[in-house]
Amino acid sequence: MNAPLRRVGVVVMVLFGLLFANLNWIQAYKADEYRTSDYNGRVQVAEYDRKRGNIEAGGTALATSKETTGKLKFQRTYPGGAKYAQVLGYKPVNLADTGIERVENDFLAGTSDQLIGDRFKDMFTGDQTGGGNVLLTLSKRAQDVAYDQLRNNQVGAKRGAAIAIDPRTGAVQALVSMPSFDPNPLASHDTSQAAAAYNRLEQDPEGPLKNRALSETLPPGSTFKIVVAAAALENGITKTTQIPAGPSYTPPTSGEPIRNAAASICPEPQISLLDAVTESCNTGFAQLGVRLGANTIKEKARQFGFEQEDLTVGQLGEGGLPTAASRTGSIQNTDGGDDPAALAQSSIGQRDVRMTPLEGAMIAGAVAHNGSQMRPYLVRQLLAPDRTTSYYTAKARELRQPVSPQVASDLRDMMVSVVQNGTGKKAAISGYTVGGKTGTAQSAPDRPDHGWFIGFVLDKNKEPISAVCVMLEQAGPGGSAEAARIGGQIMRAAIADPGGR
């Protein structure tokens, strides 16, 4: 029996050899991945030994850390609850972090290279200097109004978004996505409770975790007419040029006839460009688009910021909250030529055209700011833990120049006309010049329309103060008028409190 016993000894050696080999393989090829995995709670636990810095706006702490007696020494809390959730994100113990909490994590946690001095000092003093503070551009008042108005919208929309930008700098004044969520349970130190809260939000069909203002793309409807009008103004058409209109228009090749939202809108065969924008004349813009050609429209949209995939909103440098790219979609036939039916529909913001609320606000902002589109940003300043030294201060940066000052001036006049005489009257603010454009976009035949409003407000010296975009998903009839009303309210708040920049 000794021979098989020896062989069994060899088998045990082989089995243990496999264990050794496997453990070595884990350390050689997998250890880094495991160590830095999002599911690895250890990395974060070490962070809780140091007080995480505040995230603030307008002098109020929106995210702050409180000392606890537990194993994790600091509890992250969000006094604003759901109101700022999409901007701040959350910093959970065991789950992945999001929002500003994620993109500014190093600075808030105090592990950033910029704070190396504090870490060095701690080595000698034995203290644990906290993390740095992040100051946001948000206007508390505008954010309050945007959140409340969106939540209590009068058309009963369940999903939507609102964003307001300072057109002169690109500083974000308000950013709300509806429905929102309370980030506090997600930061709970009871990780199973946090995971349960997360799973509940994740499975919610209304998608509360989504940042719709930056990443939801929907057909923009008539708000896209501003882009088409800009293309027209650059191609020999003026505000007063008469363009073909009419009660209905069928594109040359085929397709459904395009009609206006109401029979009273531009039934006459010809209408000025100014009136076409003011009344939101579908037949006029469909024909205008077909005349200009798909490439002209696509190029203009691109110059306004469509198709940009890498735009982030945070600091004016690397990093920031990701955004979705707005798209014009394919307007071509299979042979590469224009598809007139698609072009006609695309020109009134339907078909495959998709826009984010952010892009809507950026279009309005560029029009208000003499054709100069500023890069949007949320982080105004990074402040040392002791609040004396500033490690970063935002310096506004132009992103692109979609239109010339002359074209911008014409577009401004048309948009002001929309609010004074047309579909956007509810956005008006007495004593200020408000311009805008509403949009009603069909989503699907059996679903209610989306309501849009993009707009801006100028002070008495024609200086822009705020540019907004409000989107109410599947709002149904009256959606765009309600969006205009909410847009006006947000701009009114931004006038009173323009936020930091």
Q: Which residues bind other proteins (CB under 8 A)?
A: 1-6, 8-9, 11-13, 15-16, 18-20, 22-24, 26-27, 30-35, 37, 39-42, 45, 69-71, 94, 191, 195
**Cβ closest to other proteins, residue 12 vs residue 262:** 12
**Cβ closest to other proteins, residue 12 vs residue 116:** 12
Alpha-carbon gap, residue 412 to 419, rounded angstroms: 11
Closest contact distance (angstroms) between CB of 7 and other proteins is: 8
**Cβ closest to other proteins, residue 36 vs residue 254:** 36
**Cβ closest to other proteins, residue 34 vs residue 257:** 34
Closest contact distance (angstroms) between CB of 200 and other proteins is: 13
DSSP category for residue 115: G
Question: How would you label 237-276 residue by residue, b for 16+ Cβ within 10 Å and e otherwise?
Answer: bebebebbbbeebebeeeeeebebbeeebbeeeebbbbbb
Phi, psi at 162, each rounded to 5°: -145, 140
Tokens 């409770």: give the residue: 193
**Cβ closest to other proteins, residue 34 vs residue 268:** 34
Instruction: Give 125's Cβ-side CA count (13 Å radius).
Output: 9
**Cβ closest to other proteins, residue 56 vs residue 97:** 97
DSSP 268-334: SSEEEHHHHHHHT-HHHHHHHHHHH-HHHHHHHHHHHTTT----EESSSSS--EE-PPPB----B-T
**Cβ closest to other proteins, residue 36 vs residue 264:** 36
Alpha-carbon gap, residue 120 to 125, rounded angstroms: 9
- Residue 91 CB contacts under 8 Å (≥ 6 apart), including other chains: 52, 63, 76, 97, 101, 102, 105, 108, 187
What is the number of residues in the chain? 501
Closest contact distance (angstroms) between CB of 385 and other proteins is: 24
Closest contact distance (angstroms) between CB of 40 and other proteins is: 4
Both tokens assigned to 151:
């939540």
Phi, psi at 27, each rounded to 5°: -70, -35
Closest contact distance (angstroms) between CB of 199 and other proteins is: 8
Catalytic residue among 180, 222, 346, 466: 222
Alpha-carbon gap, residue 297 to 301, rounded angstroms: 6
* Sequence letter at residue 486: I
Q: Residue 248 catalytic?
A: no
Q: Let me know: does 65 contact 189? Beta carbons within 8 Å.
A: no
Closest contact distance (angstroms) between CB of 126 and other proteins is: 11
**Cβ closest to other proteins, residue 66 vs residue 397:** 66
- Measured from the Cβ of residue 475, the count of other Cβ atoms closer than 10 Å reads 26
DSSP 49-84: TSPPPPEEETTEEEEEEEE-SSSSSEEEE-TTGGGG
Of 361, 381, 468, 485, the residue nearest 143 (C-alpha)? 468
Closest contact distance (angstroms) between CB of 3 and other proteins is: 6
**DSSP element (H, E) containing 490:** helix 479-496
3-class DSSP state for residue 102? helix
Alpha-carbon gap, residue 448 to 219, rounded angstroms: 13
Closest contact distance (angstroms) between CB of 2 and other proteins is: 5
Question: Which residues are catalytic, by number?
Answer: 222
